[in-house]
Amino acid sequence: MLFGAGGAAAMRPGSAFVMCSTVDPNWSSRLEVRLAEKGILYLDATISGEITIMTEGADAAYALCEPILKYISARFYKLGAKAGAGSKVKIINQLLAGVHIAAAAEAMALGLREGVDPRDLYEVISNSAGNSWMFSNRMPHVLDADYTPLSAVDIFVKDLGLVLDTARASKFPLPLASTAHKMFMQASRRRPRRRGRRGGDQDLPGHRTAQQAGVAARGRPAARLHRRRFHGRHRPSPTISCARACARCR
């Protein structure tokens, strides 16, 4: 679209194009060169979280765009004079975000499996070394049975794919990112009619287990959640039971 009718062809030389999407860093570098051939400035300005903007580009591009981007951002970073560095930082950020979502879901699901009160677990982890931005941001929605989409599943399929492509090119192994990518791929395939529309974490196996176990139980006591999960007549399998003779079952 950029190089179609009404795109770059309609832009005046000396104007600037700002890229805010998460893209392949090498593609971003090539785009800068292609636009420069038309006399158009390019600023790579990826965005994350609560409007953190990671930028790089020529001084002339900053002269046009920096005041506006600083105005709309909470944090503004200048990472270099050529496109690519900001996109690299962004996909590294997405590596952490994707892995943290998957880990948060697994942690909550394990806590339920072991009969831990989910709200106590959330409170303790939120104030301990195991906390992350994703845990603090996503888990309250699980506790409150709020499955309103927060981001698309396929965003992390794409972004973690970019992470793995970048690492593969330099032969750098990323086992955690690879596992998280597979989890998001599985979640995406499970909902082909709504692919990309569900929240980025709501369909992950750990979140699904948490939902089934009653984390989204609208305030039911933890003891009741435990009984329903491990001792109810509708439990998933007769082989699923307490790992030990816990206090809730004595």
- Positions marked active-site: 90
Element (H, E) at 104: helix 85-113
**Contact between residue 173 and residue 185 where contact means Cβ atoms under 8 Å apart:** no
**Contact between residue 201 and residue 138 where contact means Cβ atoms under 8 Å apart:** yes
Half-sphere CA count of 69, side-chain side, radius 13 A? 25
Measured CA distances, 136 to 131, 132, 140, 143, 226 (Å)? 7, 6, 7, 11, 23
- The candidate with the shortest Cα–Cα distance to 94, out of 164, 172, 5, 42, is 164
Q: Residue written as tokens 């929240």?
A: 199
Cβ-proximal residues to 195 (8 Å cutoff; 6+ apart), any chain: 153, 154, 188
Q: Residue written as tokens 């030990």?
A: 244
Q: Using DSSP, how many helices (H) and how many strands (E) does the chain show? A: 9, 4
Measured CA distances, 45 to 1, 35, 88, 105 (Å)? 19, 15, 11, 30
d(CA 120, CA 124): 6
